Chain A
Amino acid sequence: MDFIDVVIKYTPFFLPAAWMTLKITLLGIAFGMLIGLGTALTRISNNFLLANVSRLYIFLIRGTPLLLQLFFFFYVLRQSLGLEAFSAAYLALAIHNGAYIAEIFRGTIQSIDRGQMEAARSIGMTSSQAMRRIILPQAFKRSIPPLGNQFIIALKDSSLASAITISEVLLQAQRLAAANYKMLEMLTIAAVFYLFYTSIFTWLVSWTEKRLDVDSDKQRGLV
């Protein structure tokens, strides 16, 4: 009973930290999506320079640890750009996730049948019109399962921001445990918060997937 009591007693102390985890994760994902889409489009464009800049970005980000990137933003860029620790954290997360999301988008864009682009071009659409109106809507739908996966990874990765002084869930657990010596209970509370968030993400992803399903009854004209 002692265990449960401790957990209940300390859970409220986690709320600000839980909010912080959610904030840096959502900002990281939102900007990561924008960066990812932009990078995917330039990566497959005919512009040699832009395509290679995108390739280099993906190479650098995927090839180095997130912790190193967080340190880089916190210890190097924060000074020169005058960022807060909070901004350094979500920007690092955004740039980190952007590289993975770019590869998700690139994969799904390239998985759309070539005939779709040809059909769009054959009625006189420009390549950007065809991309925007024909290819991307279809590619986006296919991106949802891997994006959901990436969002969950991003949520858990946000715990690394504890290393750059961000008071998110894991750092809060460590701090409280240092004071009350209840490491098991504090880690349990932290784990429950992460599980809660990942459950919501999972549910949101499957809801979106269902809504966009072309083969659903609605789109078959049965409803």
Chain B
Amino acid sequence: MIKIRNLNKSFGKLKVLKNVDLYVRESEVVVIIGASGSGKSTLLRCINFLEHPQSGTVKINGQLIDKNNEQEINKMRTQVGMVFQHFNLFPHKTVLENVMEGPTQVKGIIKFEAKKLARYYLEKVDLIDKANVYPSMLSGGQKQRVAIARALAMEPSVMLFDEPTSALDPELVGEVLCVMKELAKEGMTMVIVTHEMGFAREVADRVIFMDNGMIIEEGIPDHLFDNPQNSRSQAFLSAII
């Protein structure tokens, strides 16, 4: 589903990703953990080319993405949904319009059909009653659920989550994780950057630990959390659990 080889990314002189390889199979839930600055968000953002890597290849659904081909990237992005830490809802559009925006503008679906589609996904994140309000009226948890619905409305084959609960009040984290668990259960392929270790343990098929721009260790959650092999993952995990 996702095949990344030899990815290198630097911001100026700072090397953020060093020869990273990443494979994600269909219906797999991969959670990336690591200290801040370890490159995990950058890796996620390189998958849909919000960051352009200096070298390396990204294959999505078997297709090698040419980083200089805008059209190809736009097309790929319709298959790769992304959820951001700060939601990034469009404040001048209602909840329903936020979700309809992609289907109507990018896929050219007619308004009537797009509305049905948007309502279906708002139902799914349990926010159909907020369809006609503006994002400024919503709590953080609700905003993030709308953002998930907006991404899902493009009917992507992969979903990327970039610290989806990091900007939320603690009591609102649960509702967002709940939606994500539901998605995982339905077989959505997901790559998640998070600090929610309990969630990672419960939902992930595989956990990846990153440090200093490299993948240091990976494995099934129970192994990685209970019995980390690398000294840096040991230090990281003992610091947060």
A and B associate: yes
Residues of chain A at the chain B interface (Cβ within 8 Å): 113, 115-116, 118-126, 129, 133-134, 137-138, 141, 214-215, 219-221
Closest chain B CB from A34 CB (angstroms) = 22
Closest chain A CB from B167 CB (angstroms) = 11
- Indicate if the CB atoms of A219 and B101 lie closer than 8 Å: no
- Indicate if the CB atoms of A124 and B75 lie closer than 8 Å: yes
- Indicate if the CB atoms of B90 and A220 lie closer than 8 Å: no
In the complex where A115-B88, A220-B133 touch, is A122 in contact with B105 (Cβ < 8 A)?
Answer: no
- Indicate if the CB atoms of B91 and A122 lie closer than 8 Å: no
Residues of chain B at the chain A interface (Cβ within 8 Å): 48, 50, 70, 74-75, 77-78, 80-82, 84, 86, 88-92, 101-102, 105-107, 132-134, 136-137, 147, 150-151, 154
Report the Cα distance A119→B160, complex, angstroms.
12
Given contacts A123-B81, A124-B102, 14 further A-B contacts (CB under 8 A): A116-B88, A118-B84, A119-B90, A121-B74, A122-B77, A122-B82, A123-B77, A123-B106, A123-B151, A124-B107, A137-B92, A219-B134, A220-B136, A221-B132
10 A-B pairs whose Cβ atoms sit less than 8 Å apart in the complex: A113-B88, A124-B77, A124-B102, A125-B106, A126-B70, A129-B106, A138-B91, A141-B92, A214-B91, A214-B92
Closest chain A CB from B54 CB (angstroms) = 18
- Indicate if the CB atoms of A221 and B105 lie closer than 8 Å: no
In the complex where A115-B86, A118-B88, A214-B91 touch, is A124 in contact with B134 (Cβ < 8 A)?
Answer: no
Report the Cα distance A116→B101, complex, angstroms.
13
Neighbouring A residues of B77 by C-beta, 8 Å: 121-124
- Indicate if the CB atoms of B133 and A221 lie closer than 8 Å: yes
Closest chain B CB from A138 CB (angstroms) = 6
Report the Cα distance A138→B150, complex, angstroms.
19
Report the Cα distance A116→B136, complex, angstroms.
15
- Indicate if the CB atoms of B101 and A133 lie closer than 8 Å: yes
Question: Chain A: interface secondary structure?
Answer: helix
- Indicate if the CB atoms of B150 and A123 lie closer than 8 Å: yes
Q: Select from chain B the residue with minimum beta-carbon distance to A118.
A: B50
In the complex where A122-B50, A124-B75, A126-B70 touch, is A138 in contact with B92 (Cβ < 8 A)?
Answer: yes
Neighbouring B residues of A115 by C-beta, 8 Å: 84, 86, 88
Neighbouring B residues of A215 by C-beta, 8 Å: 136
Neighbouring A residues of B132 by C-beta, 8 Å: 221
Q: Select from chain B the residue with minimum beta-carbon distance to A220.
A: B137
Interface centre among B88, B136, B150 (most CB of A within 10 A): B88
Neighbouring A residues of B147 by C-beta, 8 Å: 119
Report the Cα distance A113→B84, complex, angstroms.
13
Report the Cα distance A119→B147, complex, angstroms.
9
Q: Which of A126, A141, A214, A220 contacts B74 (CB 8 A)?
A: A126
Report the Cα distance A170→B50, complex, angstroms.
55
- Indicate if the CB atoms of B88 and A119 lie closer than 8 Å: yes
Report the Cα distance A220→B84, complex, angstroms.
23
Neighbouring B residues of A219 by C-beta, 8 Å: 134, 136
Neighbouring A residues of B78 by C-beta, 8 Å: 123-124
Neighbouring A residues of B88 by C-beta, 8 Å: 113, 115-116, 118-119
Neighbouring B residues of A124 by C-beta, 8 Å: 74-75, 77-78, 102, 106-107, 154
Closest chain B CB from A88 CB (angstroms) = 39
Neighbouring B residues of A137 by C-beta, 8 Å: 92
